[in-house]
Structure 1
Amino acid sequence: MKKVIIDGNSLTLKDLVNVARHGYEVELDGEARKRVEKSRAFVDKLVDEEKVVYGITTGFGKFSDVSITKDEAKDLQRNLIISHACGVGPNFSEDIVRAIMVMRANALSKGFSGIQPNTLDTLIEMINKGVHPAIPEKGSLGASGDLAPLSHMVLPLIGDGEAYYKGELMDGIKAMEMAGITPVELTSKEGLALINGTQVLTATGALAAYDAKNLAKLADISASLTLEALNGIVDAYDERVHKVRPHKGQMDTGKNFLRIVKDSGRTTRQGEIRVQDAYTLRCLPQIHGASKDAINYVLSKVDIEMNGVTDNPLIFADDEYAISGGNFHGQPMALPFDFLKIAIAEIANVSERRIERLVNPALSGLPAFLTKKGGLHSGFMIAQYAAAALVSENKVLAHPASVDSIPSSANQEDHVSMGTIAARGARDICYNASRVVAIELISAVQAIDLNGGSEKLGLGTKVAYEKVREVVSTWEDDRVMYRDINKAAELVDSNVIVEAVEEAIGELEF
């Protein structure tokens, strides 16, 4: 079985995706285990000496001024979990739950949280044996971390709550028993160590950012198909244009378009058919490039957060000191994930405008709605409606969550990030955008068939055209459209078009 070794410092987005979506197991690094053991020993010392440390010998939030005795430590930690499990709504998907679990395990393995090694081992065992806690999507403020959803993650760990095992939702204790895992009894600091962090919002947003990167590459390909269908002008992608305004995403995108349509007999030069194209073709390096720059910015923040410690208090065993700070606050990720929402929404926005250019005879010069039998047949008329609806929904979802804050815990926690809402929004926008691009793919290949066929397509567009036509045949008569959209969406989700094009022309710039 393929494994990812976690040490708190070197988890990559690729590692995260492999655990979340490809069933990789997780193993704790040996040096990391030593750090965890040392951190735990210092927590035990604090408890034995009855030092006043938040969350270890005190209550939580507004109750931080309430002292907790050594004898009450276990009750305190269990009560924390069961009282904080206040999530509502549908449960997160399995890949997000696995991403949450591995990110939390990775943060704990840095050795600044005071977790018992056995508790961390049990969390890792749950990942490896496929016990996936039922974690409702809603209920987190993104500070103090993702308290409610992470509490749901912990419930099966302590033999409570609900979990999925082999695809079936059941009581958490039953899932643990069926997987042969012994639940743990939490002691001082452990409940807080498990739930006081940003792993839910970061896991959700990280997977959305990963999908957004792939979607942005595919959008270059789908736009290239549209360019070929409309005999678009390639001069606007000339490297000289972009060198005088050298934004990386813009320059990369211009290069991508020229490589994808290389050797095409369908594209044109300025003045051959028309002097210039509309913005949705001519300005693609600027539009797609700006989204790519935003996505890369978000990915850089994800890389930091995946290997950060977002607990409170932090245990510095080497210095024998515990500090109550604010690393649980989700603001460093809330703003990037709001930025990600806008970046992905714009990919869909311009894709829908290209669909309109394909189906509108006044703009394309092609048969109306890409059907030869207009009137009797509606062709791609309502496919554009669906894309427009998705784009409009994205505009609502793109409203920033991070600009809002509602005080909590009797104003002790008086500013929160709402970062989990931002991350969920990015995920939802990415889903909608992927369906818009799927509609563009099937519209563009239909337009190509109506405008001379695929013989003179470029190196990359030819490959993409063939991949789409493997699952969606040319429209001659009206048929049930959603089936074709779903087939194209499966191509988008599997990333096979990007992989095939990159195999043919080399990796696309990003």
Structure 2
Amino acid sequence: MLSSRMVDASPSVPATRSATVVLDGSGLGVEDVVRLADGSARPVPAPEAMRRVEESWNAARRLAATGRVYGRSTGVGANRNEDVPSLAPSAPPAQGGPPQAAADHGMRLLRSHAGAVGEELPARQVRAALAVRANQLLAGGAGLRPSVVTALCEALESGAYPVVNEFGSVGTGDIAGLAQVGLALAGEHPWRGAGAPAPRRLDNNDALALISSNALTLGQSTLALHELRGLVGATQVVAALSLLAVDGSHEAYAAPVHAARPDRGSAEAARRMRALIGAADRPTPPLGRIQDPYGFRCLPQIHGPAYDAADALERVLDVEINAAAENPLIVPEDQAAYHHGGFYAARLALALDHFRLALTQVARLSTSRLSTLNEPAYTRLRPFLADAEPAASGVMILEYAAAAALGDLRAFSAPASLGHAVLSRGVEEQASFASLAARQTLRACGAYRLVVGCELVAAVRALRLRDLRPDPGLPAGRAFALAEPVLGTDAADRPLTDDVAAAAALLDRFTDIWRGSAS
């Protein structure tokens, strides 16, 4: 796989951390999930949210003991009409747990559903899922025992995480992966890392309540959004260096152009470009060529939609990671269990698909600028930024490498939401495939980095060969100062693999420069 983040090691979780993230079931954000996944903050469940969990658990047990509640007193899927043993009227929940047969039903449900297959997921992704699930449970609609929330927070605190395999969801709940989490909590499934929480007793009132969620897909989506949003910003910094290397026009970013066509994302991309290169709001027209190739001239119109798609995806995630979307939803004040389809992740799948399609446009524009950097008509240098040797190839191969990586990115951008599945004897006759969309978005990270890394290698070489040094007081100048000592100076024909790898790794630091251009 191309993604550099799909195989990351377990995060190093410090013994003590002053940074905390309060989990209250309503205010968790994308950046909070990333911090918990990385182990740079510790989770603190809000007391009032824990009270909601307690109330929901008590209400759920009463409802399951006196009526038919999906997954608690019945089977699941096509078995939804089959009853399982429930509490007898003479043994209300307050006097103890369900009878052994009912308790066994919960464990059998977890065991049967913990059949995820494929590669083990890396620590960071599993920890993101634990953070999302703990917060969702604190919204108070699941109706499972509070000690499950405590155990999830203990794992996030210690750095331990359950083994979770890659495949098992079709976007109607991450039931296979979360069943593996449930078995790990019960002591029947392995953990990675030290400090796993002590085994907890789980029964019919906990099993479906735990796995009725898209927490794994949501955790993966937050990580992908965080990385790729930053990389889109870093790409604009690289584009600024390319623009300076070809004496590009500033007119495409002029404020009047974007006031005349008031598209929010495009206007913001143009404003950022002006900040990166120190362009005036109303720049003086160039004396040379009339207008630049699309790679420069249409940057606001292509980067802007990517900004907007990232914002739209974040809005969806903000809802979902704070949602009580379990089926059934336990509402203590109504003394009711509402059966519904809130687990169906169509909006998330569509937002992820939209985001990847926008990213592919941005990456494709990077390859356009790379082609321009190879042209003497724009750089006043030898073809392919080569040295003086006859027929030297210079950075010619970067166009091929970037096009190959872009091919993978295009493949990852195929809309997952076009998928379809009919499951469980026809009872579940739709699937959003949001889980596939999340995996594809994560995998896009590595391919995207390599495309833009190729452009950065060429842009820095062109600036060096032309003896151009961007103003170090400008963001573009600071980016060049970061890149110059990292990338090789030899313009002779040589392998460029290591240069591209170094440039791709440097993009995270360019992201910080781009963020600094926000004001």
Task: State TM-score, norm by structure 1.
Answer: 0.91
Q: Give the counterpart of 1:47 among 54, 59, 64.
A: 64
- Matching of residue 329 in structure 1 with residue 344 in structure 2: yes
Provide the residue aligned with 1:172 in structure 2: none
Q: Give the counterpart of 2:112 among 83, 98, 118.
A: 83
Note if contact 2:224-2:442 (Cα within 8 Å) is conserved in structure 1: yes
Q: Cα distance, 1:269 vs. partner? A: 5.2
Q: Cα distance, 1:457 vs. partner? A: 7.1
User: What is the distance in 2 between the residues matched to 1:327 and 1:458?
Assistant: 51
Q: How does 1:159-308 map onto structure 2 within 5 Å?
A: 159-165=187-193, 178-179=194-195, 181-262=197-278, 270-308=285-323
Q: Cα distance, 1:449 vs. partner? A: 0.9
Q: Give the counterpart of 2:178 among 142, 147, 150.
A: 150
Q: Cα distance, 1:471 vs. partner? A: 1.5
**Residue 51 of structure 2 aligns to which amino acid in structure 1?**
K
Note if contact 2:78-2:427 (Cα within 8 Å) is conserved in structure 1: yes
User: What is the distance in 2 between the residues matched to 1:102 and 1:156?
Assistant: 16
Q: Give the counterpart of 1:35 among 31, 52, 68.
A: 52
Note if contact 1:371-1:475 (Cα within 8 Å) is conserved in structure 2: no
- Matching of residue 97 in structure 1 with residue 112 in structure 2: no
More displaced 10-residue stretch of structure 1: 422-431 or 2-11: 422-431
Note if contact 1:370-1:446 (Cα within 8 Å) is conserved in structure 2: yes
Q: Give the counterpart of 2:72 among 39, 42, 56.
A: 56
- Matching of residue 435 in structure 1 with residue 450 in structure 2: yes
Provide the residue aligned with 2:410 in structure 1: 395
User: What is the distance in 1 between the residues matched to 2:217 and 2:353?
Assistant: 12
Note if contact 2:313-2:351 (Cα within 8 Å) is conserved in structure 1: yes
Provide the residue aligned with 2:511 in structure 1: 498
User: What is the distance in 1 between the residues matched to 2:414 and 2:205?
Assistant: 37
Note if contact 2:416-2:436 (Cα within 8 Å) is conserved in structure 1: yes
Unaligned 5+ segments in structure 2 are: 1-16, 87-98
User: What is the distance in 2 between the residues matched to 1:386 and 1:161?
Assistant: 42
Provide the residue aligned with 1:171 in structure 2: none
Provide the residue aligned with 2:14 in structure 1: none
The CA deviation string for residues 71-114 of structure 1, in whole angstroms up to 9 with x for no partner, is: 32221111112211222222222221111000000001111111
Q: Cα distance, 1:205 vs. partner? A: 1.4
Q: Cα distance, 1:12 vs. partner? A: 1.1
- SS of 2:416's equivalent in the other structure is coil
Provide the residue aligned with 1:9 in structure 2: 26
Q: Cα distance, 1:263 vs. partner? A: 6.5
Provide the residue aligned with 1:109 in structure 2: 138
User: What is the distance in 1 between the residues matched to 2:226 and 2:315?
Assistant: 12
- SS of 2:397's equivalent in the other structure is helix
- SS of 1:464's equivalent in the other structure is helix
Note if contact 1:261-1:457 (Cα within 8 Å) is conserved in structure 2: no
Unaligned 5+ segments in structure 1 are: 166-177
How many pairs were matched up? 487
- SS of 1:5's equivalent in the other structure is strand
User: What is the distance in 1 between the residues matched to 2:342 and 2:421?
Assistant: 19
Alpha-carbon spacing, 1:374–1:388, altered in 2? closer, same or farther (3 Å): farther
Aligned-residue RMSD, C-alpha = 1.9
User: What is the distance in 2 between the residues matched to 1:440 and 1:139?
Assistant: 38
- SS of 2:453's equivalent in the other structure is helix
User: What is the distance in 2 between the residues matched to 1:239 and 1:433?
Assistant: 29
User: What is the distance in 2 between the residues matched to 1:442 and 1:414?
Assistant: 49
**Residue 27 of structure 1 aligns to which amino acid in structure 2?**
V
Q: How does 1:112-151 map onto structure 2 within 5 Å?
A: 112-143=141-172, 145-151=173-179
Q: Cα distance, 1:64 vs. partner? A: 0.4
User: What is the distance in 1 between the residues matched to 2:433 and 2:391?
Assistant: 50
Note if contact 2:111-2:183 (Cα within 8 Å) is conserved in structure 1: yes
Q: Cα distance, 1:305 vs. partner? A: 1.1
Q: Cα distance, 1:40 vs. partner? A: 0.8
More displaced 10-residue stretch of structure 1: 53-62 or 147-156: 147-156
- SS of 1:385's equivalent in the other structure is helix
**Residue 467 of structure 2 aligns to which amino acid in structure 1?**
G
User: What is the distance in 2 between the residues matched to 1:263 and 1:235?
Assistant: 9
- Matching of residue 423 in structure 1 with residue 442 in structure 2: no
Note if contact 2:63-2:337 (Cα within 8 Å) is conserved in structure 1: no
Q: Cα distance, 1:378 vs. partner? A: 3.2
Provide the residue aligned with 1:404 in structure 2: 419
Q: Cα distance, 1:474 vs. partner? A: 2.0
- SS of 1:65's equivalent in the other structure is coil
Note if contact 2:272-2:517 (Cα within 8 Å) is conserved in structure 1: no
- SS of 1:148's equivalent in the other structure is helix
- Matching of residue 349 in structure 1 with residue 359 in structure 2: no
